């Protein structure tokens, strides 16, 4: 077994379709993301030390994330609005929709400009398609984030289909988004592998519908929307690179 792959109990049978999470999986969370909060601080006139602003923002994100992370469906736009409202409340301000609209646009631009694509992403997707596998994207993301990000990196043609939580009206780990994606692929869960970074959203969710899972691990990078959740799911495989998936699938399909 290669050093970049850890096989865990439960693997077996051919893999015909591979479904990928987006953030933390094809893209790393290790980049310089965000930046929208600086404009909010200036717009409403908050005077506080940078460390106090950072602490308030993290607390607001945890508070909003703990609520939305337990919902079967939500728009990230609403999550971001709630986070901003909690942040402003901490400093005695209410939420102004014009301030939120500007913040949301800056968040999107920050994502497009600074969220790094993993170096082996394009090569891995291409190699899987060359093997005749069905390759799809399934992400807890709003459409106004998903498609501009894919367009910017010219990734859309590498997928047989893409499914957003907004389209499915379901957010991982809710099983409906997985069933929706499997239905589009016309594949059964027993022949599918789901690849993601989150034990809660990706691994536990995939297992609920009978899919195998591969969790990509990145040291020092936290998984969002898991604050306050106890997660006990164990992935079928753990990898430290996307490229390692090729060997996993080749091995499964050679049996």
pLDDT digits (tens, 9 = 90+) for 145-173: 999 999 999 999 999 999 999 999 999 99
With 70 as the cut, is the pLDDT of residue 1 above it?
A: no
Note if the pTM is more than 0.85: yes
Q: Which of 158, 148, 161, 151 is nearest to 124 (CA)?
A: 158
Distance, in Å, from the CA atom of 11 to the CA atom of 254, rounded to the nearest integer, reads 13
Average pLDDT of the residues in 194-204: 94
Over residues 72-127, the pLDDT tens digits come to: 999 999 999 999 999 999 999 999 999 999 999 988 888 888 889 999 999 999 99
Over residues 97-109, the pLDDT tens digits come to: 999 999 999 888 8
Model pLDDT, residue 126 = 98
φ, ψ (nearest 5 deg) of residue 238: -120, 135
**CB count in 10 Å sphere of residue 25:** 24
The CATH number fitting domain 5-30+116-253, selected from 3.40.50.1000, 3.40.50.720, 2.40.37.10, 3.40.50.620: 3.40.50.1000
With 90 as the cut, is the pLDDT of residue 211 above it?
A: yes
Question: Could you state, in order of their start, the residue ranges of all structural domains in the chain?
Answer: 5-30+116-253, 36-114
């Amino acid at each position: 077994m290669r050093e970049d792959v850890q096989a865990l109990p439960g693997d077996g049978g051919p893999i015909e379709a591979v479904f990928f999470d987006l953030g933390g999986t094809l893209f790393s969370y290790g980049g310089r993301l965000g930046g929208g909060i600086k404009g909010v601080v200036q717009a409403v006139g908050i005077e506080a030390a940078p460390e106090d602003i950072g602490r308030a923002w993290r607390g607001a994100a945890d508070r909003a994330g703990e609520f939305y992370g337990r919902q079967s469906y939500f728009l990230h736009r609403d999550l971001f609005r709630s986070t901003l409202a909690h942040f402003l409340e901490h400093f005695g301000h209410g939420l102004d929709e014009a301030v939120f609209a500007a913040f949301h646009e800056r968040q999107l631009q920050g994502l497009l400009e600074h969220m790094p694509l993993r170096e082996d992403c394009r090569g891995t997707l291409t190699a899987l398609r060359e093997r005749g596998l069905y390759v799809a994207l399934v992400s807890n993301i709003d459409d106004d984030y998903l498609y501009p990000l894919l367009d910017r990196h010219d990734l859309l043609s590498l997928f047989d289909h893409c499914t957003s939580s907004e389209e499915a009206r379901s957010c991982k780990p809710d099983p409906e988004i997985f069933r929706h994606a499997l239905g589009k692929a016309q594949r059964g869960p027993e022949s599918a592998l789901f690849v993601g970074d989150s034990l809660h959203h990706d691994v536990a969710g995939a297992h609920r519908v009978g899919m195998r899972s591969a969790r990509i691990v990145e040291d020092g990078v936290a998984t969002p929307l898991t604050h306050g959740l106890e997660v006990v799911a164990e992935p079928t495989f753990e990898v430290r690179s996307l490229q390692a998936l090729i060997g996993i699938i080749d091995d499964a399909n050679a049996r």
